[in-house]
Amino acid sequence: MPALGRLFVTPADLGRKVSIRYLDEAQLTDVLGQLVDWKPGWFLVKNKHDDLIKVPTSQIVASKVVPPAAAAGWVLSMALKVWRASETEAMGDWTLQATGGGTARVNSCLLVGQPNVPVVNALQNIVTWYKEKNLAPLVHLSAPGVFDEDLKNFGFKKTYLIDFLSKENVTASVTFEFLVEASLSNAWLEAVNKNNGEGRRLDAVTLVSGEVVKFISLFKDDEIIATARLAIAEDFALVTNLWVAENHRQKSIASEMMKLIENLALTSGIKRTWLQVLSTNQAAQRLYQKIGYQRHHQYQYWAYKPERD
């Protein structure tokens, strides 16, 4: 029989979302909802159907406050801190980014919040800013986005759709002997850029961004056959550059590397890890789902492709 009366919810949590497991006529029962009242001897919880559930505190097995879900805009903004462009410029809440190479994220404008000028003027500023740098005008925002119609009317077209996944970290044993470095090595950078191809060579400014950054490698015969990067800023941890050489796949290297990454994140006090993957990359989607990652939200890239310019 589990211990009863274990309270990790207090009167200060009134109004918050709580999860409570308790004994109801000798049967374990779970209730999830808003804590709306607290009296000596019982809780009152309103569930998603607006039913009021009276829970005797003496019968509680476990209880906790459920943290609020992270907003998509917060996730996208935090990602800028751990995958930084070499040049940025604020336009109100929007952030213009340019690196001249690497990924679309560091060469696109993040549309979170509101610009400091009317939206149509802001979109024209984006087009001008990128064209002056000989870069294709590109933006990204959560999907579906509040500016979708504005983008469409101005001449932007949808391109890549990205899934942002996350998972609560758990400690696990790791079977492979990975190398973990706190600084960017030439060998790691060369391996990643070789995999990315000449058109997507990454900038060191981007790779070292973050309060804590770990570069992970797996060697075989003095050659790097797998890489990953963990970058942390505040309470946000992002995984990037997860790659396994084609002739070494199907050996659980990627899943073991993710276990190590979660261990490293927990060591830094981070409870949740995030990553992003193309919505059409079914192989990667299957891997991440298998090890417990779930989609939090999607974001969409839009490229400027007017009929006439």
pLDDT at residue number 6: 45
Q: Distance (Å, rounded) from C-alpha 24 to C-alpha 41? A: 15
Q: Distance (Å, rounded) from C-alpha 177 to C-alpha 120? A: 53
Single-letter residue type at 155: G
pLDDT at residue number 191: 94
Owner of token pair 């949590």: 13
CATH fold, domain 166-295, is Aminopeptidase (3.40.630)
Q: List, for the chain, all residue ranges whose pLDDT scores fall below the cut of 70.
A: 1-7, 68, 197-199, 307-309
Domain boundaries for CATH 3.40.630.30 within the chain: 166-295
Two tokens, residue 38:
């607290």
Domain boundaries for CATH 2.30.30.520 within the chain: 11-65
pLDDT at residue number 17: 82
pTM for the predicted model, two decimal places: 0.78
Which CATH code for domain 11-65? 2.30.30.520
Residue of 100, 78, 94, 158 whose CA lies nearest to 126? 94
pLDDT at residue number 38: 85
DSSP 67: P
What secondary structure does DSSP assign to 191-203, as a single string?
HHHHHH-GGGPPP
Residues 119, 262 contacting (CB under 8 angstroms): no
Q: Distance (Å, rounded) from C-alpha 168 to C-alpha 173? A: 16
